[in-house]
Amino acid sequence: MYDTLIIGSGPAGLSAAVYAKRADLNMAVIEKEFTSGGQILNTYEVDNYLGLPGINGFDMGMKFREHADKLGAPFLEGNVSGIEVIEEGSDTKLPVFRVNTDNGSFDTHTVIIASGANHSKLGAPGEDELTGVGVSYCATCDGAFFRSKTAVVVGGGDVAVEDAIFLARGCSKVYLIHRRDELRAAKTLQNELLSLPNVEVVWDSVVKEIRGNSKVESVLVQNVKTKEETSLNTDACFVAVGITPETDKFKELVDCDEKGYIIAPETGATSHPGIYVAGDARKKRLRQIVTAVADGANAVTAVQDFLVGKS
> Could you tell me which residues come within 8 angstroms of residue 10 by beta carbon, excluding any fewer than 6 positions away?
36, 37, 38, 39, 40, 114, 116, 279, 280, 292
> Of the candidates 76, 42, 77, 34, which has an alpha carbon nearest to the alpha carbon of residue 59?
42
Beta strands 117-119 and 243-245 are antiparallel
**Active site members:** 138, 141-142
Q: Which whole-number Å values give the CA distances from 153 to 55, 88, 168, in the listed order? A: 24, 47, 11
Q: Which whole-number Å values give the CA distances from 165 to 28, 65, 135, 146, 168, in the listed order? A: 42, 35, 18, 14, 5
Amino acid code (one letter) for 290: V
Amino acid code (one letter) for 68: A
Helix H or strand E segment including 290: helix 289-307
Amino acid code (one letter) for 93: K
Q: What is the DSSP letter of 261?
A: P
> Of the candidates 110, 103, 104, which has an alpha carbon nearest to the alpha carbon of residue 85?
110
Q: Confirm if 6 and 20 have CB atoms less than 8 A apart.
A: yes
Q: Confirm if 181 and 203 have CB atoms less than 8 A apart.
A: yes
